[in-house]
Structure 1
Amino acid sequence: MSLASDRREKRGGTGTNLVLPAGVATPALVASAGERASVRFLEFFASAIRNPHTRRAYARAAGDFLGWCGGAGVTSITAVQPLHVAAWIELQTKTSSAPTVKQQLAALRHLFDWLVTGQIVPHNPAASVRGPAHSAKKGSTPVLDATEARQLLDSIDVTTPIGLRDRALIALMVFSFARIGAAVAMRVDDVYVQQRRLWVRLREKGGKRHEMPCHHTLEAILHAYLDGTGLANDPKGPLFRTIARGTGQLSETPLPQANAHAMMRRRARAAGIGTAIGNHTFRATGITAYLKSGGTLENAAAMANHASTRTTQLYDRRHDEVSLDEIERIRL
């Protein structure tokens, strides 16, 4: 399954044009089962999977698995057996992390469930296959300490629109615990005044709307960004935008998540920070700084829009400092 293009394509079936969801192609094993199977397969990604990131991940897993099955001699998706799924999952554990493999197995389970209810296959071959064991009490997201976060924000040249934009995006994630996907999806009117304070409105995973007041530092940074770029005159436009080629000014195109991630890593390197910045680094940095200042786990979960404090605990890296202090007690 090719993920090279996010364009919508049309391919002819037996007299019918099938509209393929972005990033999804019909594998040969599905096509060999007939047009009805192809339509049901595409409907899974178009109808059952709404989150674009989940869709891409599931499409990649399904495509890789079905491509492997084709190489193993399976001629149709209706011939896939639990042994095929188990063998492929075992192969994935040799090159991928346990959470990745568990997600891949979940993709196959959901896909085959969909095909079973559509009467394309008689049973779900992934239902009985067990994934790798995995338990995490602490997340793997790289975290900056408060000094590094401040150093990064202060290092950005804010005499240009791109500098104002980059500082505002990073500050938003630190002080509001926003996910990168929710941050780059914001519109200008998602920054608004309420109770004489600036607030931000985030649309998080699952379509959940989350609103919270701005920290005074974030408030000043957002005001500087909006005033310095004139974005306040376009309330329905994207808050974070690309830079128009050759102008140095903001365009009308929303900033893609991949570009935002590359920007953050570039800014960190320029600031002399060696930590490998991840998509959730600033979210985890903000949560850890809040808890170190006496905040409660319950309030941190509410501010981060987590359904459970167990998820928030994965972002709590206060114990890292204890480990660093204790390791220095080893004297030779």
Structure 2
Amino acid sequence: AQSVKQQLAALRHLFDWLVTGHVLHTNPASFVRGPKFSYTKGKTPILTPTEARKLIRSIPTDTLVGLRDRALIGLMIYTFARVSAAVTMNVKDVYRKQENLWVRLHEKGGKHHEMPCQHNLKEWLQEYIEAAGLAEDPNGPLFRSVDRKTKQFGANRLDRQRAWAMVKRRAKKAGIDTPGICNHTFRGTGITAYLENPEAKLEHAQQMAAHSDPKTTRLYDRRSDQVSLDEVERIGI
């Protein structure tokens, strides 16, 4: 609905320009009503902090695939990264700055978004990169798919679909049955967990998530779910 409204607005501007230039007498789109769009909360399911920790701790880290999956899920949680930005990262997009580890995310519109690593993410990325020997290939993909023949990481980049399959597989093994869990779940999980901190600020969450509009950030905030549950539990029957 939102994209339709945006397209309709663009058409109205175009026709207004044509009317101003005397190409058209009237704007044919001026009386067209767009769809109503009024979401106060996103539809993507999120995990509670307890569920997120359970999922991450359930991933075995005695294999390269396990280290990769933990690092990828951690990246999406702690940097609020979109999966498309995560899987397009190269090894050199993990770097040191100001005595800490940082990541460079390739966001929509060719924009680069830099984020410092939370201490857990720092540890998980370093362990993964070191174990996989990726530091020797800085221009190569950070998250790689496994070659079916050799069962080792190849040179191919892990894509969104395989990342989604991994998330569903890991969630099932961890006993997490949240309906509709997907890559985007971790973005909402991270934002909500951040905003639950009393010292957190919406504008900081917006900056961290690389949102141009704070209204978009609010769609990821599911604190009202818990508030509602707390209130319902007050019904003493």
TM class, shorter-chain normalised? 0.7 to 0.9
* Alignment match, 2:83: 180
* Alignment match, 2:214: 309
* Alignment match, 1:103: 3
Which of 248, 266, 273 matches 2:169? 266
Structure 1 alignment gaps of length 5 or more: 1-98
Q: Distance in 2 between matches of 1:277 and 1:124?
A: 44
* Alignment match, 1:7: none
Which of 161, 164, 167 matches 2:67? 164
Change (3 A) 1:221 1:311: same
* Mapped contact 2:144–2:155 kept (Cα < 8 A): yes
Q: Aligned pair count?
A: 227
Letter in 2 for 1:318: R
* Alignment match, 1:76: none
For 1:245, what is the secondary structure of its paired residue?
coil
For 2:115, what is the secondary structure of its paired residue?
strand
Structure 2 alignment gaps of length 5 or more: 19-23
After TM superposition, give the deviation of residue 256 of structure 1 in Å: 1.1
* Mapped contact 2:4–2:34 kept (Cα < 8 A): no
Change (3 A) 1:110 1:278: farther
* Alignment match, 1:217: 120
- 1:86-235 pair list within 5 angstroms: 99=1, 102-103=2-3, 129-235=32-138
* Mapped contact 2:103–2:116 kept (Cα < 8 A): yes
Q: Distance in 2 between matches of 1:104 and 1:271?
A: 39
Superposed CA deviations along residues 262-299 of structure 1, whole A, max 9, x for unmatched, are 21122111111111313321111111111112311111
Which of 134, 141, 164 matches 1:238? 141
For 1:206, what is the secondary structure of its paired residue?
helix
For 2:145, what is the secondary structure of its paired residue?
strand
Instruction: Identify the structure with bigger relative contact order (alpha carbons < 8 Å, sequence gap 6+).
Output: 2
Superposed CA deviations along residues 281-318 of structure 1, whole A, max 9, x for unmatched, are 11111111111123111111111111122211111111
* Alignment match, 1:319: 224
* Mapped contact 2:5–2:35 kept (Cα < 8 A): no
After TM superposition, give the deviation of residue 168 of structure 1 in Å: 0.6
**Farther off after superposition, 180-189 or 244-253:** 244-253
Q: Say what the alpha-carbon RMSD is for the aligned residues.
A: 2.5
Change (3 A) 1:260 1:125: farther
**Percent of pairs identical after alignment?**
55
Change (3 A) 1:108 1:240: farther
Q: TM-score, normalised by structure 2?
A: 0.86
Structure number with greater Rg is 1
Which of 164, 169, 186 matches 1:282? 186
Letter in 2 for 1:152: L
After TM superposition, give the deviation of residue 127 of structure 1 in Å: 7.3
- 1:59-98 pair list within 5 angstroms: none
Change (3 A) 1:317 1:220: same
For 2:183, what is the secondary structure of its paired residue?
coil
